[in-house]
Amino acid sequence: MILVLGKGTTREEIERLKEILRSEGHMVKEIGGVEERVLGIVGKNYREGAYYESLPGVEKAVPVSKPYKLVSRELQPAASVIKVGDVAIGGDRLVVIAGPCGVEGRTATLEIARIVRRHGAVLFRGGAFKPRTSPYAFQGMGEEGLKILREVREETGLGIVTEMTSPGQADLMMKYVDVVQIGARNMQNFELLKSVGRIGKPVLLKRGLSATIEEWLMSAEYILSEGNDQVILCERGIRTFERYTRNTLDLTAVPVIKKLTHLPIIVDPSHATGIREKVSPMARAAIAAGADGLIIEVHTDPDKALSDGPQSLYPEQFEQLMRDLYVIAPVVGKQVDYAYLDKAAVMKPRTGGNKAPATVVYSGVPGSFSHKACLQFFGSEVPLNNCSSFKEVFDLVDSEQAAFGVVPVENSLTGSIHENYDLLLEYDLKIAGEVTLRIKHNLMGLSSARIEELERVYSHPQAFQQCREYLEQNPGWDLIACKDTASAIQRVKESGDPKEAAIGEGAEPISGMAVLKEGIETNPRNFTRFVVISRNGSLPGPNNKSSIIYSVSDKPGALFETLRIFAANDINIVKLESRPIHSRPWEYMFYVDLETDIAEEHNKRIMNELMEKTEFFKFLGSYNKGAQENR
Ligand code: PEP
Ligand code: MN
């Protein structure tokens, strides 16, 4: 049952209500909605809705129609994000768990861990208790294996995912493990589910070999009903009549699960296919289908692996897969972050120190693309602040009120955002990173709105430009400019006028709006690049890109002389743009992005040469362009 509380309900009233409900044998879950306060209640003996509505503070009682309650989206509309140390599963960054099927020995396990971390895995998998079909097959190293996993965590910082096969192992799991895996064969081992429900650690719940989605969610419900709501679902293939692959990967489960439950879902293409060559294609498909992450078996010597060798990727295959995912992820609004764990480590010691607070600032409202860029780059764990102009972002970072700022610099269709290029010149700040987002625009309106009846459309001018073709088909609409797309959506929501609509992404924080038409941008290959600015803080990861600004004297060949330096040193120019110098009409500054770390010791000579050939020279920073080449 969902109890919607009255707007003015006080904290004391809520606590009193919870007490009453608990004393009647209900389990009570408070759900922090943006606009509504809701209590989810679950129990064996429900009463009539009218009874609950008579309790003080309750406005409406709505029954949950599904047999699973705590896991259902009806009860909690916002997606759950499960935290494992610094890693967040279900957020904007893809989470890849990798490692061998089983822990077989110390040296090899550590070696695999170092490799998968380098290629972008953020959690490590490896079984110490293996539930094998044959009693004569390798059963796992037991506690010895767990000790090796603990060493992996200590050395690499990767959180540990490992399988628990019996409630008797609960203490060991508490001691050594970060995520407890419930294997497919144990999905309906209810005593085990209850036991992990009480363990208080995140649980990776695999789908049973022949379990329906409803049965799977009922198993998750067992865990939540014991008080543990940190459950990650894992589709790992189901048994069908098809024998070519080990199992049949039911990718439909991904969007179905996303609709039915707020819990995150990851996909295991290794056990689903059982064939090494089929793992990467299905992994790519899983991400395209909307999965929050993957769990993949990787082994340095799969031919000698004690279990699941034929489905384990070679390290090079895993590396290639991660590079592919890096490209695919932004298409579905996500990001692969190679420096995920390193960034978290950098942000940590800052808190409490005397440097700028470890906050990140952006211009716009929550739900805007700039907000999303912050989440994708820094994750939801880092405190974010917003302000109302790009200049303010620069000011706040410059005055050390925020450690980092995130601003857009260019769009693949509409070109550079000149204001920020000028601010980069004006302020003495450095570029510490970059992140690229796919910009998908939807026409958003109230659920009662009809496209044919619209009169006014709100959005940011850039968004109007990016949706030009669609807007030209509707010449009667008044286009009204707003600060950003998220505030445009907010405005329509507040006006409550079905003749109004907004163009924007319609991200989760603004609920209650309907997508009237999806993907109205003229060109779907619409990406915006954001840069991360900071006063001094560089971020981890190999720096493989640099930005500089310079001007040259007004003489023939002066620009050419500078470009020659790049050619002679085999440096690729990825962007070259000129901007007028404000005080000198018809003279220009050149903004150059280079595919190298120009600040590196062995490049000093190049930097000096450039300074000689230029009138004005400013180094904007070296940073990681995200891709993996130079690792
Ligand atoms: C495993 O992850 O190694 C495993 C045994 O998986 P499943 O339970 O999905 O077969
Ligand atoms: Mn396995």
pLDDT digits (tens, 9 = 90+) for 156-188: 999 999 999 999 999 999 999 999 999 999 999
Asked, for residue 402, whether it belongs to a domain, the answer is no
* pLDDT score of 618 more than 90: yes
Among 540, 552, 154, 160, which residue's Cα sits nearest to residue 341? 540
407 φ, ψ (degrees, to nearest 5): -135, 145
DSSP state of 226: T
Is ligand 1 within 6 A of the CB of residue 207?
no
Residue 260, helix vs strand vs coil: helix
Q: Whose atoms come closest to the Cα of 130: which ligand?
A: 1
507 pLDDT tier (thresholds 50, 70, 90): low
Asked if 228 and 294 sit in the same domain, the reply is yes
Does residue 157 sit in the same domain as residue 243?
A: yes
Q: How far is CA 392 from CA 385, 388, 530, 631, in A?
A: 11, 7, 16, 35
User: Quick count: other Cβ atoms within 10 Å of Cβ 416?
Assistant: 16
pLDDT value of position 488: 93
Looking at residue 509, its pLDDT comes to 47
Query: Which pair of structure tokens corresponds to residue 371?
Result: 């907000």
Co-location of 304 and 177 in the same domain: yes
How does residue 65 score in pLDDT terms, banded at 50, 70 and 90? confident
Query: What are the C-alpha distances in Å from 462 to residues 330, 411, 467, 559?
Result: 20, 9, 9, 32
Average pLDDT score over residue span 312-325: 97
Taking the C-alpha atoms of residue 579 and residue 573, their distance in angstroms, rounded to an integer, is 17
Shared domain check, 115 and 31:
no
Confidence of residue 554 (pLDDT cuts 50, 70, 90): confident
127 lines ligand 1 (CB under 6 A): yes
Position in ligand 1 atom list of the atom nearest CA 185 = 8
In total, the chain counts a number of residues equal to: 631
Q: Which two tokens stand for residue 542?
A: 């190999």
Q: How many domains does the chain have?
A: 4
Per-residue pLDDT reduced to its tens digit, 10-35: 889 999 999 999 999 999 988 865 56
Domain endpoint, select from 336, 362, 394: 336
Q: Do 53 and 98 belong to one domain? A: no
Mean pLDDT across the chain: 92
CB 619 within 8 A of CB 611: no
Contacts of 260 (CB under 8 A, 6+ apart): 66, 72, 73, 213, 217
Which tens digits make up the pLDDT trace of 514-526? 999 999 999 999 9
The reply to whether 530 belongs to the active site is yes
Conformational region of residue 416, where left means phi above 0, alpha means psi within -120 to 50, and beta covers everything else: beta
Angle at 93 between CA 407 and CA 376, to 5 degrees: 10
Overall average pLDDT of the 464-485 stretch: 95
Residue type at 411 in one-letter notation: N
Task: Judge whether 49 lies within some domain.
Answer: yes
Torsion of CA 191, 102, 158, 235, to 10 degrees: -60
21 and 137 housed in the same domain: no
Q: Whose alpha carbon is nearest atom 1 of ligand 1?
A: 101
What is the arithmetic mean of pLDDT over 445-455? 94
63/51 Cα distance (integer angstroms): 13
What pLDDT was estimated at residue 18?
A: 93
Cα 164 from Cα 60, distance rounded (Å): 41
pLDDT at 363 over 50: yes
Rounded Cα distance, 348 and 549, in Å: 32
Tokens 């010449």, residue located: 475
Is 405 inside any structural domain?
no
Task: Tell me how far apart the alpha carbons of residues 374 and 92 are, in angstroms, rounded to a whole number.
Answer: 10
> What does the pLDDT look like over 379-410, one tens digit per residue?
888 899 999 999 999 999 999 999 999 999 99
Residue 619 scores a pLDDT above 90: yes
Asked if residue 161 and residue 267 are part of one domain, the reply reads yes
> For residue range 271-283, what is the model confidence (pLDDT) as tens digits?
999 999 999 999 9
CATH code, 101: 3.20.20.70
Q: Among candidates 193, 256, 265, which has minimal Cα distance to 224? A: 193
> Does residue 149 contact residue 136 with C-beta atoms inside 8 Å?
no
Residue 349's pLDDT band (boundaries 50, 70, 90)?
A: low
- Examine the domain organization and report whether 513 and 555 are in the same domain: no
Longest alpha-carbon distance in the chain = 87
Residue 299 Cβ contacting ligand 1 at under 6 Å: no
Half-sphere exposure of 335 (CA within 13 A, CB side): 27
Which whole number is the average pLDDT over 535-546? 83
Within 303-455, strands assigned E span 360-363, 384-387, 404-411, 415-416, 430-438, 442-445
Query: Is residue 370 situated within a structural domain?
Result: no
- Token duo for residue 570: 């085999």
Does 80 map to a domain? no
- Evaluate whether residue 56 is within a structural domain: yes
State the pLDDT confidence band at 350, using cuts at 50, 70 and 90.
low
| Residue 236 CB less than 6 A away from ligand 1 | yes
Placement of tokens 């050149």 in the chain: 590
Indicate if ligand 1 lies below 6 Å from the C-beta of 271.
Answer: yes
Closest ligand to residue 185's CA = 1
CB of 224 within 6 A of ligand 1: the answer is no
pLDDT above 60 for 351 = no
What's the pLDDT score for residue 630?
35
The answer, yes or no, to whether any atom of ligand 1 lies below 6 A from the CB of 184, is yes
Q: Phi-psi category of 400—alpha, beta or left, where left has phi over 0 and alpha has psi -120 to 50?
A: left
Instruction: Give the span between the Cα atoms of 344 and 467, in whole angstroms.
Output: 37
Q: Could you tell me if residue 69 is inside a domain?
A: no
Say which range, 105-109, 153-157, 583-587, 593-597, has the weakest mean pLDDT.
Answer: 583-587
**Alpha carbon distance 339, 13 (integer Å):** 45
Active-site annotation holder among 359, 528, 596, 614:
528
What percentage of the chain reaches a pLDDT higher than 90? 80
What is the CATH number for 558?
A: 3.30.70.260
Measuring from atom 8 of ligand 1, which residue has the nearest CA? Answer: 183
Band of residue 629 on the pLDDT scale cut at 50, 70, 90: very low
| Residues in Cβ contact with 399 at an 8 Å cutoff, skipping those fewer than 6 apart | none
Residue 291 has pLDDT above 60, yes or no: yes
Q: Are 296 and 101 in contact (CB under 8 A)?
A: no
Question: Which of the following is catalytic: 318, 390, 404, 530?
Answer: 530
Question: What is the number of the ligand 1 atom nearest to the C-alpha of 186?
Answer: 8
Q: How far apart are CA 599 and CA 613, in angstroms?
A: 17
528 is catalytic: yes
Q: Which of 268, 302, 336 is the last residue of a domain?
A: 336
Ligand 1 atom nearest to CA at 130: 5
- Tell me, what's the pLDDT at 355? 65
Do 558 and 517 share a domain, yes or no?
A: no
Tell me, in angstroms, the distance from the centre of ligand 1 to residue 184's CA: 6
The residues that bridge with 516 in the sheet, in sequence order, are none
| Burial bucket for residue 344 (CB in 10 Å: 0-12, 13-18, 19+) | buried
Looking at ligand 1, which atom is closest to the CA of residue 234? 9
DSSP annotation string for 426-473: HS--EEEEEEEEE---EEEE-TT--GGG--EEEE-HHHHHHTHHHHHT
Which tens digit of pLDDT belongs to each residue from 102-152? 999 999 999 999 999 999 999 999 999 998 999 999 999 999 999 999 999
Is pLDDT at 220 greater than 60 in this prediction?
yes
Residue nearest to atom 3 of ligand 1 (CA): 101
CB 260 within 8 A of CB 292: no
- Mean pLDDT lowest among 260-274, 344-358, 420-434: 344-358
- pLDDT the model gives residue 46: 85
Least confident interval from 30-44, 134-148, 254-268 = 30-44
CATH of the domain at 16: 3.30.70.1140
| Neighbour count for residue 523 (Cβ, 10 Å) | 10
- 150 and 6 in one domain? no
Q: 360, 385 in Cβ contact below 8 A? A: yes
Considering only residues 155 and 587, tell me which one the structure prediction assigns the higher pLDDT. 155
Indicate whether 518 and 571 sit together in one domain.
no
Sign of the Cα pseudo-torsion (180, 235, 508, 379, in order): positive
Question: Are residues 561 and 499 located together in one domain of the fold?
Answer: no
CB of 334 sitting under 6 A from ligand 1: no
> Residue 470: which CATH number?
3.40.190.10
How many whole angstroms from 102 Cα to the centroid of ligand 1? 10
> Taking the CA atoms of the chain, what radius of gyration do you get in angstroms?
27
User: In the prediction, which pLDDT does 628 show?
Assistant: 41
Are 53 and 60 contacting, i.e. CB atoms less than 8 angstroms apart?
Answer: yes
Direct distance between the N- and C-terminal alpha carbons of the chain, in angstroms, rounded to an integer: 52
Q: Which two tokens stand for residue 605?
A: 């000579």
Q: If you measure from the C-alpha of residue 305 to the centroid of ligand 1, how many angstroms do you get, rounded to a whole number?
A: 15
Domain that holds residue 556: 542-631
pLDDT at 583 over 90: no
Q: What is the mean pLDDT of residues 348-360?
A: 66
Cβ(252)–Cβ(206) below 8 Å: no
d(CA 291, CA 269): 12
Which one of 286, 317, 336 terminates a domain?
336
Residue 249: inside a domain: yes
